[in-house]
Chains A and B, each alone.
Chain A
Amino acid sequence: MHSDAAEVRKHIRTYLMIGAALLVFTAITVAASFISLGVAGNVALALIIATIKGSMVAAIFMHLNHERRWIYGSLVLTAVFFAALMSIPLFKTADHIGTAVVVPVAAGAPETGHEGR
């Protein structure tokens, strides 16, 4: 941590500049939502801007740009689990359990009453 008073004074200017940049990016986020890029395009753009803003908050306000490795280590672990959590929707998309399956019935074969799954 920068506990030195002179260094803190220097950082105050950075905090104010980051605050202003975050406000500008908020305006960009709202403006970008009026541009029609398709659902996927708009989602991607909004998340990219949000990630830039989030990175600024984490790096400067939360001082992650110069932290100890124990903090980085715990955050890397969190990022791995977070990525796993975010991949759950992908598994959901690939999952067809419960979807009605039409099984072709051979001519003359007796009906069993099963639905295939």
Chain B
Amino acid sequence: MDIPYVVETRPDTGLTNGKLGIWLFLASEVMLFGALFSTYIILRTGSTVWPHGELNVPLGAVNTVLLIASSVTMVLAWASLKLNDFGKHRLYLIATVVLALIFLVNKFFEYREHLGHGKYPSASTFDAIYFTLTGLHGLHILGGVVVMLYFLGPGAALWRRNPEQFANRIEYTGLYWHFVDLVWIFLFPVLYLL
């Protein structure tokens, strides 16, 4: 039996089930990161000493540029499908994956430098919240990469069977990806600059 409302919209909500589902998921994600931001504020305001300039700001800024660029390529990957250009879609999706992987490689070097100086999560309150926030965000990046690789691999077959459903799936992936970018837009100044 086919799953209903994957392409056509529900008459009551005016949305496909997937669209409403991804937004509800993102709402739960807002609460997850919100709880950690709230924790950060409590720790920051309750701390008598807070390190400044401990993180590599140029690397953090480069990572911000990478994620913004990946958001642009992601939305262009979806737009290419709407223009019926599957070849361009794949190019933009590959570009998104590559940018995400460079972000993760940068993060790896950053973590290595940080840990090399003995700054483990247990070293200080700052290190604890830094590793928690960036670690959780990094896992989200990794999750997004896995989903995009699926759509570059076996998931791409859906384009031939049902192009509209495939475009919808890419749109939902994009919504998730933009959210991950949005979280970093707040993480960068809060952790690196303040």
Q: Interface of A with B (CB < 8 Å)?
A: 1-3, 5, 8-9, 11-12, 15-16, 18-19, 22-23, 26, 29-30, 33, 39, 42-43, 46-47, 49-50, 53-54, 57-58, 61-62, 68-71, 74-75, 77-78, 81-82, 85-86, 88-89, 92-93
Contact = CB atoms under 8 A, between A and B. Distances in A.
Contacts of B189: 29, 33, 46-47, 49-50
Interface stretch (B38-46, B102-110, B142-150): B38-46
B91 to A, nearest CB: 14
B49 interface: no
A68 to B, nearest CB: 5
B1 interface: no
B31 A78 contact: yes
A1 B9 CA distance: 11
Given A74-B24, A82-B31, A11 B79 contact: yes
A85 B186 contact: no
A98 B113 CA distance: 38
Determine chain B's interface SS by DSSP, over half rule. helix
A85 B35 contact: yes
Contacts of A68: 13-15
B53 to A, nearest CB: 10
Contacts of A11: 79
Contacts, number: 126
A68 B10 CA distance: 12
Interface string B149-184: 000000000000000000000010011001101100
Given A33-B194, A46-B189, A61-B178, A74 B72 contact: no
